[in-house]
Amino acid sequence: MAVSGFEGFEKRLELHFFGDDFQLGLRKIDFESIQLVLEQVQCTVVSAVGNAYFDAYVLSESSLFVYPTKIIIKTCGTTQLLKSIRPLIFYSRLIGLTLCSCRYTRGTFIFPKSQPFPHTSFKDEVTYLEDTIPSNLCFRKASIMPSMSSSHSWHVFTATIDHHDQDNELFTMEVCMTDLDPILARKFFRRPDDGKTGHSAGKEMTELTGINDINADALVCDFAFDPCGYSMNGMDGDWYSTIHVTPEDGFSYASFECVGSVNANNIGHVLRKVVQIFRPGTMSVSTTCSGYSNEMWKQMATAVEPLGFKCRSCAMDQFPAAATVVFQTFTPRRKST
Amino acid sequence: MAGSSEEGQVIGCHSVDAWTQQLEKGNESKKLIVVDFTASWCGPCRFIAPFLAELAKKFTNVIFLKVDVDELQSVAQDWAVEAMPTFVFVKEGTIIDKVVGAKKEELQQKLEKHVATASA
């Protein structure tokens, strides 16, 4: 492993709000304010698109999704994601919205020593979250979900008010992949002086790698970084998906995230396509369902089995009035024994 | 002439009549037209708006039109606009290119390309 390199593992924050205006809600926050939030985190917008349901931003470090009552912000590298909470609470209050739930998740950093405060350790992150989140979000829990290998675990913090209505049909899937197949990873490098914009080079990668086949109905907003790296957001009605790739050998990383319905049975198909695009040496799949059951994990294991991936660990944890999280890790069969 | 005061501006079309008129006028002039399909509630539209205004100042031989998809729903439907912002490039009545999303570099590069072809 390289001594230091780009940290692919993202930090992810999901905030839910309530208030009188459910129609536009958070989408009314002006762009200057969003920019100020992103400045705190230390990233910028590289491309963006909106539909009838939400706005999706590709950032210099990952992605931001703004729904009327929900914000999802995911950033990689050495960004200071948790610093976005205070300004987001402030700007949402200006438009009459109040925070009612917060969920922070991340994997295990490849280069933990490079992380700035408050991301220096999970303990520091939790302390920062505890201090930042309004006291009425009193149902809180922090947990590190283990895998068989100590180098890979799933960090979860949730906080919520007493009574928080949630869509019990929705689930979120977060896939983190390391040790990508080097031949496949090479597709996420640009040719020097290709004369293309990051947008057109990104579009080419989307097509060349088969990312556009994951969900053919989705509108894709993509970007290729120079000299390498790739980000995309997909929009399919009110559902988002997002992919981020750090292809450099030694610390290669790719993530896929999407929302889906617990009643639809196509998620296995989606995961299979993702695995085929990256062929990772190690993969973790975290599914979060609102409510107190989470059966999604069975589908995941069955889906990647035919591709030679074996489920090495499976941990489940419940979070007060918030969600049930299942964290699974997979490696190819040949790597076992 | 009305055209001269509009030069360098993004012209908002607030009725179907105004839209049809601007489009016809633009097509007759044989200039490149860039139509920005936008929405007041769309954050990415607000992100790109200042940049579009700058481009309009810079590319004075291009006509920039702006259509609010809520205000002119029928136009947005006819033009199959599903995501905002959508920029449609029109030349003499024909759609020659499209940019979906707020993509600064891409928008500028396509503008430069089509302006070059137009004057070649």
Provide the CATH number for the domain around residue B60: 3.40.30.10
As annotated, the binding site of A for substrate includes: 6, 61, 225, 248
Active-site residue (options: A231, A255, A284, A286): A231
Q: Which residue is closest to A219 within chain B, CA to CA?
A: B83
Lowest mean pLDDT among A184-188, B34-38, B115-119: B115-119
Overall number of domains in chain B: 1
Q: Taking residues A130-144, what's their average pLDDT? A: 96
- Under the banding of pLDDT at 50, 70 and 90, the label for residue A3 is low
A245-299 per-position pLDDT tens digit: 999 999 999 999 999 888 877 899 999 999 999 999 999 999 998 876 777 888 8
Of A257-266, A299-308, A311-320, the least confident? A257-266
Q: What is the pLDDT of residue A20?
A: 80
Distances (CA, A) of B111 to B55, B104, B116: 9, 11, 8
pLDDT reading at B1 higher than 50: no
Higher pLDDT, B115 or A168: B115
Contact B64, B85 (CB under 8 A): no
Q: How far apart are CA A169 and CA A205, in angstroms?
A: 33
pLDDT (0 to 100) of residue A290: 82
Cα dihedral across residues A220, A208, A254, A262: positive or negative: positive
Place B5 in a pLDDT band, splitting at 50, 70 and 90: low
Mean pLDDT to the nearest integer, B86-111: 96
- Residue B119 has a CB neighbour count (10 Å cut-off) of 8
pLDDT at residue A335 greater than cutoff 70: no
**Parent domain of B31:** 2-119
Mean of the pLDDT values across residues A36-43?
A: 96
CA–CA distance, A165 with A18 (Å, rounded to integer): 10
Contacts of B2 (CB under 8 A, 6+ apart): none
Of residues B54 and A263, more confidently modeled: B54
The neighbour count for residue A192, using CB atoms within 10 Å, is: 7
DSSP, res A61: T
A219/B83 touch (CB, cutoff 8 Å), yes or no: yes
Listed by number, the residues of chain B in 95-114 with a beta carbon closer than 8 Å to a beta carbon of chain A are 100-106, 109
Question: Is B51 in the A-facing interface, judged by CB distances under 8 Å?
Answer: no
Strand order from edge to edge, sheet including B32-38? B10-13, B62-68, B32-38, B86-91, B94-100
- Please tell me the distance in Å from A38's CA to the nearest CA on chain B: 13
pLDDT of residue B2: 46
Q: Which residue has the higher pLDDT, B108 or A22?
A: B108
Catalytic residues of B: 42, 45
CA distance A162 to A315: 26
The whole-number average pLDDT for the span A293-319 is 90
Nearest to A80 by CA among A132, A119, A35, A120: A119
Whether A150 sits among the annotated catalytic residues: the reply is no
User: Taking CB atoms and an 8 Å cut-off, how many pairs form between chains A and B?
Assistant: 70
- The residue type found at A236 is D
Distance from CA of B70 to the nearest CA of A (A): 11
Predicted local confidence at residue A234, as pLDDT: 98
Q: How far apart are CA A105 and CA B114, in angstroms?
A: 45
Q: Measured between CA atoms, how close is B18 to chain A, in angstroms?
A: 25
Q: Mean pLDDT, to the nearest integer, of B65-78?
A: 96
Cα distance from B98 to chain A (closest Cα, Å)? Answer: 12
- In sequence order, the 6+-apart residues with CB closer than 8 A to the CB of A125 are A82, A104, A118, A119, A155, A157
pLDDT of A145 strictly over 80: yes
Q: What is the 3 state secondary structure string of chain B? A: CHHHHHCCCEEEECCHHHHHHHHHHHHHHCCEEEEEEECCCCHHHHHHHHHHHHHHHHCCCEEEEEEECCCCHHHHHHCCCCCECEEEEEECCEEEEEEECECHHHHHHHHHHHHHHHHC
What tokens were used for B63? 């006509």
Instruction: Check pLDDT > 80 for residue A336.
Output: no
Q: How far is CA B28 from CA A32, A74, B21, B23, in A?
A: 39, 48, 11, 9
Residues of B in contact with A219 (CB under 8 A): 82-83, 100
- A11 and A84 Cβ atoms separated by less than 8 Å: no
Mutation target among B41, B107, B111 for the A interface, most CBs of A within 10 A: B41
Question: Out of A326-335, B3-12, B94-103, which region has the weakest mean confidence (pLDDT)?
Answer: B3-12
Q: In this prediction, what percent of chain A has a pLDDT beyond 90?
A: 85
Query: Which three-class secondary structure state does DSSP give residue A122?
Result: helix
B100 to A50, A149, B84, B87: CA distances (angstroms): 10, 43, 7, 6
Contact B39 A47 (CB under 8 A): no
What rounded mean pLDDT belongs to chain A? 93
pLDDT of residue A265: 77
> What span, in angstroms and rounded, lies between the C-alpha atoms of B64 and A306?
53
- Give the mean model confidence (pLDDT) for residues A157-165: 82
Query: Where do the structural domains in chain A lie, given as residue ranges?
Result: 11-335
Q: What pLDDT, on the 0 to 100 scale, is given for residue A165?
A: 65
Binning pLDDT at 50, 70 and 90, where does residue A74 land? very high
CA distance B44 to A58: 10
- Over range A129-150, report the average pLDDT: 93
B46 in contact with A, Cβ within 8 Å: yes
The CATH classification of domain A11-335, taken from the options 3.30.1130.10, 3.40.50.150, 3.60.90.10, 3.40.50.720: 3.60.90.10
Sign of CA dihedral A133, A137, A138, A143: negative
* pLDDT given at position B120: 60
Q: Is the confidence at residue A121, as pLDDT, over 80? A: yes
Question: B43, A27: Cβ pair inside 8 Å?
Answer: yes
Distance (Å, rounded) from C-alpha A231 to C-alpha A64? 12
Q: Write the DSSP assignment of A200-250 as a string of letters.
A: HHHHHHHHHHTGGGTTTTSEEEEEE-SSB-EEEEEEETTEEEEEEEE--TT
* Maximal CA-CA distance, chain A: 57
Contact list, B105 vs chain A (CB under 8 Å) = 197-199
Do A174 and A286 form a contact (C-beta atoms < 8 A)? yes
How far apart (Å, rounded) are the C-alpha atoms in residues A309 and A329? 10
CA closest to A34 among chain B residues: B43
Q: What is the mean pLDDT of residues B8-37?
A: 96
pLDDT band for position A1 (50/70/90)? Answer: very low
Specify which residues A246 forms β-bridges with.
Answer: A253
pLDDT in tens, A285-300: 999 988 767 778 888 9
